């Protein structure tokens, strides 16, 4: 069973959000990394770039496939996990910790309320894989 | 509508793959494992350092029997089947009148009046139709025997010692691209020193209902579960292994629009053996020179080149990527592409259009990987 930590918000595109003040830390879920397989490459934006909620901010590649990643919240990128350039496997090994991808300074912090709770995300992934 | 898997063909190892945690995908009309829980990277690396096990039962087998077997086949394929001795196989191609490729295949000579053609899974029906449509009054009997066979490949430096535990036949005496009958764990099999990984190893053909027994016994003999034991490998690892070894995949490097000469397959194109379909045009192309050529490249920027992406030189699109992927053993992102022949030289700088971003690459000699001589 994929890990779904309690303290996070989730999107239907399999990203997670950890709220730290007005900053959203974003990555992909354990379910997503498991579906992808070995992550070999991560394409991330630069600090300062702005995104609207649900916009693609980059891509994550496995040996066989390319998947876009979407930000669940709007705002501007304040920090990018550059270590994923040399160690993309962190996304597989620690998707909620060292595999974090970007930090966004949220322009509308209320957006997190429309994201999925851990229980809702668990139900959602169960339904998807049936 | 759901459950498309019900319409896909399954090898006799389908349940076995699922029990091993295989992630199943559709390939050429078949329900096949793309990877197992170890993951593609580990499966690939383990095959190069120890051994990998591949279910290739989805491939097709066509029996050709009768006194005219060799001349009949030789008229349809590019390599010279008349040069084979009993127990020898050769890589070959079924060609169109334009000298392009209907399929690549192995031709096995069991006897002067018995050849076995082993063809790709996705093209088995097409190849069968092509072959029988060219059967005139030659004294041969043709049979699509694909459903009768399972085929399991054991590949890697440990392949020979692993398989040796299951047979009394001295495997080291089977030369490369040769084969013999062997009893493997009591199962009648044809053991062929061939493969699609660039490693030493064997492809084992047996009756389809013996697949599970052979598969499980080989995993056991190969110490599945140990850090340097055999691993079952899915289609993703099969692809990265053959690409690293510079081998063609039908539908990518070769198809009905590419000639053998463009694809660097002149070595299986025996223009002087006598007439075969496409010989005239291939001879003409050889005399005039090819206009484009298949090359290998290393990606030198950050990024991964993928199938179908444009290749640019001097800012202009000049060709396309036929296969692009990470190379797990070489720790490099690589690919093959067709480029105009004047640029087909090692060292040539090229760019790949990776979803709108131009990524630098450099043409390198093929193959990317060659195993060490033992």
Domain parsing of chain B, residue ranges: 4-57+148-244, 291-364
Q: Is the pLDDT of residue A59 over 90?
A: yes
Residues of B whose CB is below 8 A from A61: 304
CB–CB contact B39 A40 (8 Å): no
Q: For residue B369, report the phi and psi dihedrals to the nearest 5 degrees.
A: -125, 135
How large a percentage of chain A has pLDDT more than 70? 98
d(CA B244, CA A118): 42
Give ipTM to 2 decimals: 0.89
CA distance to partner chain B, nearest, from residue A61 (Å): 9
pLDDT number for residue A41:
97
Strand B349-354, strand B149-155: pairing: unpaired
Where do we find the tokens 């050709």?
A: B64
Q: How far apart are CA B63 and CA B118, in angstroms?
A: 9
Q: Chain A partners of B40 at a C-beta cutoff of 8 Å?
A: 37-38, 62-64
Question: Are the Cβ atoms of B306 and A66 closer than 8 angstroms?
Answer: yes
Is residue B302 within 8 angstroms of chain A, CB to CB? yes
What is the pLDDT, as a whole number, of residue B2? 47
DSSP B292-322: EEEEEEEE-SSS---TT-EEEETTEEEEEEE
Is B291-364 in CATH node 2.40.30.110? Answer: yes
Structure tokens at B26: 């559709």
Q: Write the residue in B23, B34, B304 that is nearest to A41 by C-beta.
A: B304
Element counts in chain A: helices (H) and strands (E): 3, 9
CB contact under 8 A, A63 and B328: yes
Distance CA A47, CA B283 (A): 58
B39, B239, B304 member nearest A38 (Cβ): B39
- Please answer yes or no on whether A41 and B34 come within 8 Å at the CB atom: no
Angle of the B40-49 helix axis to the B235-244 helix axis, nearest 10: 50
**Does the B4-57+148-244 domain belong in CATH 3.30.1360.120?**
yes
Compare all CA atoms of chain B with the CA of A35 and give the residue at the minimum distance: B23
Instruction: Give the pLDDT of residue B6.
Output: 60
Q: What is residue B1's predicted lDDT score, i.e. its pLDDT? A: 46
Three-class secondary structure of residue A113 per DSSP: helix
Architecture of the domain delimited by A9-111:
Beta Barrel (2.40)
CB of B240 closer than 8 Å to CB of B231: no
Tokens of B218: 């080989």
CA distance, residue B49 to nearest chain A CA (Å): 19
Cβ of residue A65 closer than 8 Å to a chain B Cβ: no
Question: Six-digit token pair at B230?
Answer: 């055999």
Q: Give the pairing of strands B52-55 and B231-232.
A: parallel
Interface list for B 94-133 with A (CB within 8 A): none
Q: What is the pLDDT along chain B (374 residues), one digit of tens a residue?
A: 444 556 899 999 999 999 999 999 999 999 999 999 999 999 999 999 999 999 999 999 999 999 999 999 999 999 999 999 999 999 999 999 999 999 999 999 999 999 999 999 999 999 999 999 999 999 999 999 999 999 999 999 999 999 999 999 999 999 999 999 999 999 999 999 999 999 999 999 999 999 999 999 999 999 999 999 999 999 999 999 999 999 999 999 999 999 999 999 999 999 999 999 999 999 999 999 999 999 999 999 999 999 999 999 999 999 999 999 999 999 999 999 999 999 999 999 999 999 999 999 999 999 999 998 76
Q: Which of B2, B3, B39 to mutate to test the interface with A (most CBs of A within 10 A)?
A: B39
């Amino acid at each position: 069973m994929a890990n779904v930590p309690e303290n996070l918000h989730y999107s239907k595109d399999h990203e997670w959000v950890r709220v730290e003040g007005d900053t959203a830390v974003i990555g992909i879920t354990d379910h997503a990394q498991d579906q992808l397989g070995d992550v070999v490459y991560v394409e991330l934006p630069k600090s300062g770039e702005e995104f609207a909620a649900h916009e693609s901010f980059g891509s994550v590649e496995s040996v066989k496939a390319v998947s876009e990643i979407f930000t669940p919240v709007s705002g501007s990128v304040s920090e990018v996990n550059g270590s994923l350039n040399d160690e993309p496997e962190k996304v597989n090994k620690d998707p909620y910790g060292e595999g974090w991808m970007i930090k966004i300074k949220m322009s509308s912090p209320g957006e997190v309320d429309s994201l999925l709770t851990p229980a809702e995300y668990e139900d959602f992934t169960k339904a998807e894989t049936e | 509508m759901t459950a498309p898997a019900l319409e896909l063909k399954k090898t006799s190892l389908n349940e076995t793959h699922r029990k091993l945690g295989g992630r199943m995908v559709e390939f050429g009309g078949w329900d096949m494992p793309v990877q197992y829980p170890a993951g593609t990277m580990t499966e690939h690396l383990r095959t190069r350092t120890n051994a990998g096990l591949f279910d290739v039962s989805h491939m097709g087998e066509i029996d050709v029997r009768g006194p005219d077997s060799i001349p009949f086949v030789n008229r349809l394929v590019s390599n010279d089947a008349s040069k084979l001795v009993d127990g020898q196989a050769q890589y070959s191609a079924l060609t169109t009148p334009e000298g392009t490729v209907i399929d690549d295949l192995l031709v096995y000579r069991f006897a002067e009046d018995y050849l076995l053609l082993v063809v790709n899974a996705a093209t088995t029906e097409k190849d069968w139709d092509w072959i029988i449509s060219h059967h005139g009054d030659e004294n041969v009997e043709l049979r699509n025997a694909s459903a009768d066979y399972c085929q399991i490949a054991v590949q890697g430096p440990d392949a020979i010692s692993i398989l040796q535990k299951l047979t009394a036949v001295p495997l080291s005496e089977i030369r490369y691209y040769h084969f013999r009958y062997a009893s493997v764990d009591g199962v009648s099999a044809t053991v062929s020193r061939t493969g699609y990984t660039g490693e030493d190893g064997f492809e084992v053909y047996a009756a389809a209902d013996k697949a599970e027994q052979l598969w499980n016994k080989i995993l056991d003999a190969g110490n599945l579960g140990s850090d340097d034991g055999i691993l079952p490998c899915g289609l993703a690892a099969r692809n990265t292994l053959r690409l690293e070894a510079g081998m063609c995949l039908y539908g990518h490097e070769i198809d009905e629009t590419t000639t053998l000469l463009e694809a660097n397959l002149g070595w299986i194109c025996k223009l002087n053996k006598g007439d075969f379909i496409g010989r005239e045009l291939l001879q003409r192309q050889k005399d005039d020179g090819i206009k484009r050529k298949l090359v290998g490249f290393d990606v030198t920027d950050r990024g991964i080149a993928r199938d179908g992406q444009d290749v640019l030189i001097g800012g202009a699109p000049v060709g396309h990527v036929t296969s692009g992927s990470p190379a797990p053993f070489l720790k490099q992102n690589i690919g093959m592409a067709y480029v105009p022949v004047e640029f087909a030289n090692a060292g040539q700088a090229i760019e790949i259009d990776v979803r709108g971003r131009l990524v630098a690459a450099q043409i390198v000699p093929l193959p990317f990987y060659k195993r060490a001589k033992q």
